[in-house]
């Protein structure tokens, strides 16, 4: 082809038409919108297996091409045939990586060690086999019981009394013959047992809950070998994913301090199939991210699913002590007297107040009313700055708009008072009538100020909401 670069339309990008708009992709931050007038252009893109950059730029603006490429809608090179067990997974990878083939290759070259193949282990094993992790080692000493069936995958009533790792390995090999499955029918009895298993392992799934020391053994062994691990379980009716260990990115289990001599006195932990699926799906996603080297966002976090209200909560994990295992030290608390000059919000408000003070001085004392008009429009110009300070958090941005509006109107009232006092005709009330007239004037001014706050606040919110849409519309027409 004549152009140095060629593209094809991502076959996994959803294209829908809603009234007079064409939407590509569904998630808002990943969505691209065209007007219905572009239907022939979209049809042309969809019909071609390979598009040159020149062909594309004849149909859309360069900025639109850049947008389609950045959102993985147009992919470089000619279209590839969709076939094989990983074809749909490849589609997911095209949306998260510029090199989807490399992501699959990383998985195929990975080795996961699963300690325990009960509820947590069997589910994660299936997920890792489904995405094509090249080698999976299964370790457990238990046999299958009837009570396992409400939460453990791949086992059937015919398997009762059979060794778990052998049954699971057989089913996984049948499910995905392309991967290697190794079985170890044994129990972890000490830290050395874990250490002996780690050479060549890229990820450990800690899914055993006995003996009580097993968490400490796995943690120490993995930290020393620099092998990441994921772990999770259940607390009453809550599913817990974490704490997980990512070498060089997160603290470890020992960073929380010594819990003391913990022994189970009574009780069998309740488990529920849907809850198991939820927590193991989260752990499997974290495991996947670790294996492809994209797990930084999951470091030092514990996720909890509350089945009572259907919510996922996240807690940040911070070291409680200087860790003797991984060497992490607790973060020093911020000094109460620390300077706030590096706080963007404080700096913005300080600058805003300084501008308003200058406006009052120039407007009321030096009779320069144009400054007030410029300040008013400056509030609207500051909208992108406020959004950036609050990281596009809609609620915080709107709250800041309200604060800005109140400060602006407050300084306007101060300027009004200064202007009246400095007027030669100003005089204090000398009779009951003038007192009531003054009260009436002050009340009317307060009402006007309140209405002004509402109008300016709504205007700021409206500009923030609709200005980007207008820009996109104009960009489409270009």
For residues 32 and 46, the answer to whether their CB atoms sit within 8 Å is no
For residues 475 and 63, the answer to whether their CB atoms sit within 8 Å is yes
CATH top-level class for 6-80? alpha beta
> What is the 8-class DSSP label of residue 60?
S
Spacing of C-alpha 217 from chain mean position: 31
Predicted confidence at residue 284, as pLDDT, reads 98
Spacing of C-alpha 379 from chain mean position: 31
Predicted confidence at residue 207, as pLDDT, reads 97
pLDDT tens-digit profile of 285-337?
Answer: 999 999 999 999 999 999 999 888 889 999 998 887 789 899 887 766 545 44
Average pLDDT score over the chain:
88
Predicted confidence at residue 398, as pLDDT, reads 84
104-108, 140-144, 421-425: least confident range: 421-425
**Looking at per-residue confidence, does 245 or 83 come out higher?**
245
3 state DSSP class of 316 = strand
Mean pLDDT for the stretch of residues 34-62: 94
| DSSP class per residue in 284-296 | HHHHHHHHTT--G
For the chain, give every domain's residue range: 6-80, 102-316, 344-477
3 state DSSP class of 478 = coil
pLDDT tens-digit profile of 139-190?
Answer: 999 999 999 999 999 999 999 999 999 999 999 999 999 999 999 999 999 9
Give the residue from 257, 253, 236 showing the smallest Cα distance to 302. Answer: 253
Predicted confidence at residue 343, as pLDDT, reads 77
Q: Per the structure block, which two tokens stand in for 220?
A: 């120490």
**Looking at per-residue confidence, does 86 or 336 come out higher?**
86
Tell me the pLDDT band of 192, cut-offs 50, 70 and 90: very high
- State percent of the chain over pLDDT 70: 90
CATH top-level class for 102-316? alpha beta
Q: Which of 341-345, 386-390, 427-431, 434-438 has the highest mean pLDDT?
A: 386-390
- State percent of the chain over pLDDT 90: 56
Mean pLDDT for the stretch of residues 238-244: 93
Give the residue from 389, 400, 402, 356 showing the smallest Cα distance to 375. Answer: 356
Phi, psi of 90 (to 5 degrees): -60, -35
3 state DSSP class of 174 = helix
- The H or E element containing residue 392 is none
Write the CA distances from 193 to 108, 121, 184, 188, 218, integer angstroms: 26, 18, 12, 6, 9
Tell me the pLDDT band of 424, cut-offs 50, 70 and 90: low
């Amino acid at each position: 082809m004549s152009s140095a670069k060629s593209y094809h339309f991502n076959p996994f990008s959803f294209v829908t038409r809603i009234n007079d708009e064409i939407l590509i992709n569904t998630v808002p931050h990943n969505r691209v919108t065209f007007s219905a007038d572009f239907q022939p252009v979209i049809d042309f893109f969809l019909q071609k297996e390979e598009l040159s950059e020149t062909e594309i730029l004849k149909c859309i603006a360069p900025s639109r091409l850049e947008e389609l490429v950045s959102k993985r809608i147009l992919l470089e090179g000619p279209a590839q045939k969709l076939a094989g067990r990983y074809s749909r997974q490849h589609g997911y990878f095209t949306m998260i990586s510029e090199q989807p083939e490399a992501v699959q290759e990383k998985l195929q070259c990975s080795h996961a060690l699963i300690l325990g193949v009960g509820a947590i282990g069997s589910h994660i094993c299936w997920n890792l086999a489904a995405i094509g992790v090249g080698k999976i080692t299964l370790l457990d000493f238990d046999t299958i019981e009837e009570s396992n069936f409400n939460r453990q995958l791949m086992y059937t009533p015919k398997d009762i009394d059979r060794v778990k790792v052998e049954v699971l390995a057989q089913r996984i090999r049948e499910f995905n013959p392309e991967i290697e499955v190794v079985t170890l029918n044994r129990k972890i009895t000490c830290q050395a047992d874990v250490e002996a298993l780690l050479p060549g392992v890229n990820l450990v799934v800690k899914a055993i809950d006995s003996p009580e020391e097993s968490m400490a053994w796995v943690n120490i062994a993995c930290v020393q070998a620099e092998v990441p691990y994921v772990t999770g379980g259940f607390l009453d009716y809550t599913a817990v994913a974490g704490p997980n260990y990512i070498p060089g990115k997160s603290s470890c289990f020992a960073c929380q301090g010594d819990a003391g001599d913990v022994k189970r006195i009574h009780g069998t932990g309740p488990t529920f199939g849907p809850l198991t699926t939820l927590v193991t799906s989260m752990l499997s996603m974290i495991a996947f991210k670790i294996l492809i080297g994209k797990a930084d966002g999951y470091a030092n976090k514990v996720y909890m699913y509350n089945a009572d209200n259907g919510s996922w909560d996240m807690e940040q994990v911070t070291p409680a002590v200087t860790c003797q295992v991984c060497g992490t030290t607790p973060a020093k608390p911020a000094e109460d007297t620390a300077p706030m000059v590096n706080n963007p919000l404080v700096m913005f408000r300080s600058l805003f107040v300084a501008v308003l003070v200058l406006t009052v001085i120039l407007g009321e004392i030096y009779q320069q009313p144009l400054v007030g008009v410029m300040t008013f429009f400056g509030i609207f110009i500051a909208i992108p700055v406020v959004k950036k300070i609050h990281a596009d958090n809609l609620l915080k941005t709107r709250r800041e708009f309200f604060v800005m509006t109140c400060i602006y109107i407050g300084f306007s009232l101060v300027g009004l008072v200064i202007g009246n006092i400095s007027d030669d005709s100003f005089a204090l009330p000398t009779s009951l009538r003038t007192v009531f007239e003054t009260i009436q004037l002050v009340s009317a001014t307060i009402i006007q100020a309140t209405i002004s706050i509402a109008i300016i606040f709504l205007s700021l919110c409206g500009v923030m909401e609709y200005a980007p849409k207008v820009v996109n519309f104009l960009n489409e027409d270009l």
